[in-house]
Every structure is written in structure tokens, then in C-alpha cells.
A and B are shown apart, each in its own frame.
Chain A
């Protein structure tokens, strides 16, 4: 049995407190009137002296591009005068702490969900190498119920207009009599409307959590079982879950990520989000395994298990890049205005995060994890894992931020605060869950093979 080190608990709680403070500062410092925005921008201008005028000009220019591309979204006259511009910036700045919160909570949510999918794949494929890691995976998926509640609350707050990060939730957009009427969004309102959005979210979350609950229960019951009854149940259930998962995951990514840009759509988006999710999940499985192993808890885990996980990290990093490039290149190549704005805004306003994450998520893992020997060196896997995780945080950042805060982005206190808070919560929940059951699923039919797994 694993016992939670009190230092780790303290460590997690410190992270949560600092993170909560950061988030609080983010919400307090967000401007509430256009006057405050003017003051903030004036202060910014003083600081930069003469440079202000030119940056302001170029900002306006890029806004015009965005506005032109979004057509009715911001109204045709939105940028005609200064006040409208300040109001636009105000909305962006007000969205920033909410977006930062949403991104961080989604990021850790997707780690838990990806781990659950990976766990189901291991059961369905009857993998012989991984059963010694099942309890580690179950520990990580213990974060799923917590994350589901947080995500659902955030979606509820959005639907009830507490924040405005989902643009399409503005009821004026679908009202033909309103000056803000947007025929494109109105045309999608059969799918994108508050109640249906929440019902879908509830179905996804309940479905995933049910699988997580029953598979964990069967896995624990299997430890004392006389036969393979519970293993067979889990096998069948995981096959069913994977079918449910791939449909709901795809829809989830349309709902929770793609709908930030309601004028834009991409068919392989669900796969793209899935690939990022799997990379993060496998990386976290490897890192938690290495931590537990280094503390002497996982007797039967050897270098070969780490090697296999590192191969998965390597493979899924390339798979992610393949999907990223397939999405980018097809849109770049055909250059259809209604699709290409997505990448135009990202390349113009998010150049460093957009291309930086490509280096972090592709070039870095490819070069470092290509060598077979390096995949067995624990600190190498951990170092690469940290870069991969940060890279995928920025990936989610790039998917959400351009639509909600536009050019007013920065990775500052609200973003880092949210990240720290959810990191602390994740560590606390996961490592507490690991103490609840023995770290070896001892009756699993494949566990003996897994103990002697050697590559």
C-alpha cells in the first residue's frame, strides 16, 4: 500500500493556495469599465514612450483584418471609433481570467480522460505489459470526477452568462431583430444552444465517469475474486466504452473547444484534440510511475515498462504533429477565407506560442526519445515529459485564447495561477487515490506476464 507523504500533501496544497491567489488577482485586476481599459492602455503607452503610436496602429490594423474576416461577429462599425475599440479590448480583458481558468481546468481534465481511454485500450487489447501499471492509471483517472464537476460548473457559468468566453451564447446573435444578429451563428443554433449544449456535456461526463467508476470497482473486486469474472466484465465494458468515447470525445471537442470560434470548423479537430490528450495522458502515466518507482513502491515495474511508455510518448507526439500539420496544411493550401482566418489570427497574434509549441511537441520529443537507450533513462523521460506537457498546455492555450481574448493575451498571473492551482489539485487527488488500493492488480490474468515483461 502506498501512503501519501505529508510533504507531498503540503506541496500540493501550497500550489493550490498560490494558484488560487493568482486566479483571484486575475479576476480582481480585470477591468470592469472602458475607462479602466483607457487608463491601462495609457499606462502601457507611457511605459513604452514613442513606440505606443506605432503598436497601436498595427493593433488596429490586425483588428480590422479580424473584424473583416469575422464579418458580422463584431458588427461592421465596431472599429470605426475609439470607444468601440476600447469596449472590444474591455471584453477581451474580462475574458482573460476566465479563459485562463478554463484552459487549465480543461488541460488537467483531458489528462485524466486520456488516461481513462488508454486504460480502456489496454484492457480491450489484453495488453500483456501494462497490468502492473493499472493501479497507477486508475489513480490518475481518479481526477476525472473532480475535473468533470469543475468543467461542468464552468460550462454552466458560461451558459448563464456569468462570463462571455463562448461568443455564440450571446442571445442577441440569434435574434433577427438585434443589430448584433449573426446569421451564421443563428444557422448553427440548432446545435449550438445553451440547453442542448449542457445536456450533451452531461451525457459525455456521466458516460465517462460511469465507466471509470465501474471499471475501478471491478478491478478492485478482481483482487479477491476466484475466477476471471471481473476481468471479463472489464474487458467487455472497456470495448463498449471505447466506442462511446470516440464518438463523445469528438463531439466534446466541437462543443468545448471548437465552438470558441463558432464561425470556423474543421473535420479532424476531434482527432487532433484526442491526440494531444493521449500524449499528455501517457506522459503523466510515465511520470507518476517513475515517481512511485523511485520511492520504491512499484516492485515489478522495470525499465522495459518505462521504455514502452516512452515509445508511446514518442509515437503519439508524432501522431499529434501529423494531425496538427494535416489540419494546418489543408487549410493553408486551399486558403478559403472562412477557414483560414483561424490560422491567420494565430500566426499574426500568437506567433511564438503557435510555432513554439510545435518545437516543444514535435522536434523536442522526436530528437530526444528517438534513441532506444534514452527511453530507459528515467530523468530523460521526465525532462522530455515536462516539455511535452508544457507544450500541450500551450496547444490548448492556442486553441482557446485567440477566440476569447484575441490580441490581449499574455502568459501572466491569471494563466500561471490557474495552472498551479489545477496542478496542485491534480497531484492531491491522484496521489490520495493511489493510497486507496494496493499498487498491484494481483489477480489480473495478465499480471504475471506483465511482471516479467522484458523488452
Chain B
């Protein structure tokens, strides 16, 4: 499927924010915005849905807590309830204070690591991934807004983007399959 895209390059994050706002008001579709650093409030201006990663983290934490409880209940209480230094291993609750440090750490461990892995998977990041960088300057000091030009009048769109303060405007024709 062939696709046409306009890449507009900006060199200031405030101008970029304004441009994103205007582009959305003019009902052009923004495919992606590339920035060298997090621009505060950009996601709100772009109208991106809030992340749900904190919710996944909470659930992973509950998994970790359950793992810790089930593991130590089996090992210390059910499987071999030995008398170790007089600690009461008759039931889980009686010896619970001794297990709390492990319960806490496993909760944090699961919540943190599984959340990070979730982040990598959702963002499609892995060690040998091919970088999807349209312009090397966007990792240094330039901002790039990619606007879908598939069904738009390219001349008009270019003029519009020029008026939003873009330094460079280029039309990208892409014939590759995505």
C-alpha cells in the first residue's frame, strides 16, 4: 500500500506544540511526532489516550504478593514445618511478620519488572530492533511532525504547515508494505 506523508521539521518545542494544536484543529491527521526529549503536555495536545501501564503494574504487584504467600506457605508451613529458632510455624498468620520482607520485595519485583517488560512489548523495543528514525536530527535538537497526506491536497497542506512555523517540509512517498 502506497502512502504519502508530509514531514514538517521544527526547532522549538513551543512552536511544535502550537503547530500540533493548529494541525489538529484544521482536522489534519498527525501520524507521529518525533522529539529529542519528552515535551511536557504533548500527549494531551495530540489527544493520545492516557497510559494504562500503572494499572498493569498494580496487578503484577498482586501477582507477586500471591506468589510470595503461596510459596512461603508451602515451604515453611505445609511442606516441612520445622522449628527454627522457636518461630511458630503452625500456621501462616502466626509466622507472618517474618515473611513480610519477602512479600514486600516480591510485590515490588513483580510490579517493576513485569511493568518494564510490558512497556517494551507495547512500545515494540528490543535489542536488535531497527531504529524507526525518519531524520537523525530528531534525536538531537529538531522536532518532526509527520502528517498523513494520503487524501489531502499536498500544496495546501504544505502551505498550512509552513504557516505553523515549520523550517523544512518534505513529502515522503512510501511504496513499501507495512
Give the interface of A toward B (CB within 8 A): 325, 328-329, 332-333, 335, 370, 372
Contact = CB atoms under 8 A, between A and B. Distances in A.
Given A328-B97, A329-B97, A335 B54 contact: no
Contacts, number: 12
Interface string B92-110: 0000011010000000000
B100 A329 contact: yes
B86 A333 contact: no
A369 B86 CA distance: 39
A372 B86 contact: no
B58 interface: yes
Nearest to A325: B100
Interface residue tally on B, bucketed by range: under 10
A370 B97 contact: no
12 contacts: A325-B97, A325-B100, A328-B97, A329-B97, A329-B98, A329-B100, A332-B97, A333-B97, A333-B98, A335-B86, A370-B58, A372-B54
Contacts of A332: 97
Interface of A: prevailing SS: helix
Interface string B47-68: 0000000100010000000000
Contacts of A329: 97-98, 100
Contacts of A333: 97-98
6 tightest A-B CB contacts, nearest first: A329-B97, A332-B97, A333-B98, A325-B100, A329-B100, A333-B97
Interface string B74-99: 00000000000010000000000110
Nearest to A330: B97
B125 to A, nearest CB: 25
B111 to A, nearest CB: 12
Most chain A beta carbons < 10 A, residue from B58, B97, B100: B97
A373 to B, nearest CB: 10
Interface of B: 54, 58, 86, 97-98, 100
A335 B94 CA distance: 14
A328 B100 CA distance: 12
Contacts of A328: 97
Contacts of A335: 86
A357 B127 CA distance: 48
Contacts of A370: 58
A329 B86 CA distance: 15
A335 B86 CA distance: 10
Nearest to A373: B50
A329 B100 CA distance: 9
B64 to A, nearest CB: 15
A372 B50 CA distance: 12
Nearest to A329: B97
Contacts of B58: 370
B93 to A, nearest CB: 11
A12 B131 CA distance: 66
A332 B100 CA distance: 13
Contacts of A325: 97, 100
A375 B86 CA distance: 44
Given A325-B97, A333-B97, A333-B98, 9 more contacts: A325-B100, A328-B97, A329-B97, A329-B98, A329-B100, A332-B97, A335-B86, A370-B58, A372-B54
A171 to B, nearest CB: 39
Nearest to B87: A333
B44 to A, nearest CB: 11
Nearest to A335: B86
Nearest to B101: A329
A325 B86 CA distance: 20
Nearest to A454: B41
Nearest to B86: A335
Contacts of B86: 335
B99 to A, nearest CB: 10
B97 to A, nearest CB: 5
Contacts of B97: 325, 328-329, 332-333
B95 to A, nearest CB: 10
A372 B86 CA distance: 44
B90 to A, nearest CB: 15
A241 to B, nearest CB: 34
